[in-house]
């Protein structure tokens, strides 16, 4: 049972210049989303990040909004938030798999994304995971984005070249 396990959490990175994070949230389950947002904002503030937020209709639109922001706006990292609760149809599987896959592909292209889209069997699981005083998955997603921003900045400007030496 996840609620009784202990996990190691990396300390938040520190930054020598400001960090801009964008929270992209699908507030389909508004109370769950609000808790995820609270956790993400608190973690961003703890790292000294400037945090903006936008809402999209559903979890499938979160990656598209992040892709647009990555191309058209000026953010260092992104926090994907939302909740998908299993229902009676296979739509749950489509939403979970496709939103996660799209976020992973954006990350592989260089976007610094923390994935806090909950995929759960029932509302009780979502409430525990979203609660900032509980599992704080919104805060964890923000921390993941911040760690990727730190790595991106660490490695920025370094190049392995293409095999030729001057």
- Would you say residue 107 has pLDDT above 90? yes
Model confidence band, residue 7 (pLDDT cutoffs 50, 70, 90): confident
Q: Percent of the chain at pLDDT above 90?
A: 90
Model confidence band, residue 2 (pLDDT cutoffs 50, 70, 90): low
- Would you say residue 165 has pLDDT above 90? no
Q: What is the CA radius of gyration of the chain?
A: 17
Q: What is the pLDDT of residue 1?
A: 45
**Separation of alpha carbons 63 and 56, rounded Å:** 10
**Separation of alpha carbons 53 and 63, rounded Å:** 14
Q: What is the mean pLDDT of residues 30-35?
A: 98
Q: What is the pTM of this model?
A: 0.92
Distances (CA, A) of 30 to 68, 81, 98, 130: 24, 11, 22, 11
**Catalytic: which of 45, 73, 91, 98?**
91
147 is known as an active-site residue: no
Q: What is the pLDDT of residue 166?
A: 56
């Amino acid at each position: 049972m996840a609620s009784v396990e202990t996990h190691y959490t990396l300390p938040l990175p520190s930054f020598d210049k400001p960090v801009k994070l964008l929270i992209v949230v699908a507030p389909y389950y508004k109370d769950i989303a609000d808790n995820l947002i609270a956790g993400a904002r608190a973690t961003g503030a703890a790292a000294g990040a400037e945090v903006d937020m936008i809402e999209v209709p559903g979890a499938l639109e979160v990656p598209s909004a992040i892709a647009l922001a990555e191309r058209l706006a000026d953010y260092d990292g992104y926090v994907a938030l939302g909740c998908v609760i299993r229902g009676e149809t296979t739509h749950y599987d489509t939403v979970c798999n496709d939103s996660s896959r799209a976020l992973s592909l954006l990350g592989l292209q260089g976007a610094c994304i923390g994935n806090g889209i909950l995929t759960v069997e029932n509302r009780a699981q979502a409430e525990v995971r979203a609660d900032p005083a509980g599992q704080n998955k919104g805060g964890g997603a923000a921390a993941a984005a911040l760690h990727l921003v730190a790595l991106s900045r660490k490695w920025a400007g370094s190049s392995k070249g293409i095999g030729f030496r001057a």
